[in-house]
Structures are given as structure tokens and as C-alpha cells.
Amino acid sequence: MVEENFPGVYIVGGKIATKNLVPGYRVYGEKIVIEGNVEYRIWDLHRSKLAAAMHKGLKEMHIKPGSAVLYLGAASGTTASHISDIVGMDGIVYCVEFAQRSMRDLLAVCERHENMMPIMGDARQPQQYAEGIGEVDIIYQDVAQPDQDDIFIKNSQMFLKKGGWGMICIKSQSIDVSREPKKIFEEFVAKVGSEMEVHDQIDLTPYDLEHLFITGKRK
């Protein structure tokens, strides 16, 4: 049985899934299910913080068919490929990554998912990749860096349209291993609160320990 959970996000046999933009192609060994001639990719909660956030009660999903998404820290494209399924060929996913090893895998995914644009660059220096990216509807960030807050603010000021949405995975251990995660999350939310009105705040335990997933609307 298939139900639409959010636009472009489905529940297939009780599991979160997206419609495969490239039928027959798997990105990370995910399970494929065919229902009524449509191919769905089951979204692994243990491999993607966005899937875990939805499973744990994300209230609003801002990424929709047709959205332009700037993805900071795309790694090998696991989550980015599901976002690509959701936005479809009327949308685009700009995938910023600075590690060469991950970029090699990401390039293979972008060759098949034609709405994903790979960008080899450092998210701390958005001017490096400003050319070619206009305003975006969403910035999705998962960079696991001590300065995650500054990285988001810089990119938001440069690319996120007013009323657009930030979706951020905050990893407290990358910021400070010696301090209580709760305090780190509070400080992060207060700091990015200057840029955006924070909405959802979801603890990703047990899928990702000491991670908070937040969403917010650009002021």
C-alpha cells in the first residue's frame, strides 16, 4: 500500500520512500519496491538524517516538487539523491562537497540524476560557487564542522530567498565534545535565530546520536 506523506514523499509498506527518478538505478544499495508500475526507493533511516527527522515527527517538509535546493555537505549523495527524487526534473539540487573521495562517488550519482549539480567547493567560502547559483528555496546543511552556524549564515545571506527555508543537521560533537549537547544546541538555535525563525527541532536519537535537526524560515 502507498500513501503520500508529504508532496513527493511516500509511505510504502510502512516505510518512507521516494519515487525513483532513474528507474532501475540504486544509489547506496537501498531497497527498491514496485507498486502499480511505479518504482520507489526505500529511504534508510540509519543512512539519512532527513529520513530520521521525518520518522521522528518533522511537521513541515519544505522540499517539494520543483524546489531549488542548495545542499551543503552532500557527501556521496545518499540523502541528496532522495531530495532529487522529490524535487523532480522541474527542480534542482546544487550539491556542495569538498572531499575528493566523496566527490568521486557523488559525480557518478549526478551523471544519472540529471537534476543534481555537483559543486567541488568549500561551504565556508560561498563566493567560490556563487556563479551559476541564483536564489534558492531551501538550504539543506549537514557539514559536521565546528563553525556550522557561521557556514549556514554565510550561505543563507548569499543564496536563500526571503521566506525560504533552512534545514540543518547540527552535530554537537563536532562543535565541542566536552560540553553538554543541550547547551550547544541552544546556542546554535539562538545564533541562527538572527537569520531565520526556527520552527521544528528534532532530536535524531537513536538514528544519529547527539544530533539535532532544525528547520527555520528566512527572515
Binding site for ligand SAM (CB under 6 A): 48-49, 73, 75, 78-79, 96-99, 102, 122-124, 142-145
Q: Quote the least distance from Cβ 134 to ligand SAM, whole Å.
A: 20
The CA distances from residue 149 to 82, 142, 167, 194, 200, in Å, are 25, 11, 12, 11, 17
DSSP, collapsed to helix, strand or coil, labels residue 195 as coil
**Amino acid found at 201:** Q
Which residue is at the shortest CB distance from ligand SAM? 73
Q: Quote the least distance from Cβ 77 to ligand SAM, whole Å.
A: 7
* Chain CA centroid to CA 208, Å: 15
DSSP, collapsed to helix, strand or coil, labels residue 13 as coil
Q: Quote the least distance from Cβ 36 to ligand SAM, whole Å.
A: 29
Q: Quote the least distance from Cβ 110 to ligand SAM, whole Å.
A: 13
Measured from the CB atom, the residue of 98 and 185 that comes closer to ligand SAM is 98
What is the rounded distance in angstroms from the CA atom of residue 20 to the CA atom of residue 30?
11
Measured from the CB atom, the residue of 78 and 164 that comes closer to ligand SAM is 78
Measured from the CB atom, the residue of 39 and 122 that comes closer to ligand SAM is 122
Other Cβ atoms less than 10 A from the Cβ of 171: the count is 21
Q: Quote the least distance from Cβ 99 to ligand SAM, whole Å.
A: 4
Measured from the CB atom, the residue of 81 and 163 that comes closer to ligand SAM is 81
The CA distances from residue 51 to 11, 42, 96, 153, 206, in Å, are 11, 10, 20, 24, 13
Measured from the CB atom, the residue of 46 and 219 that comes closer to ligand SAM is 46
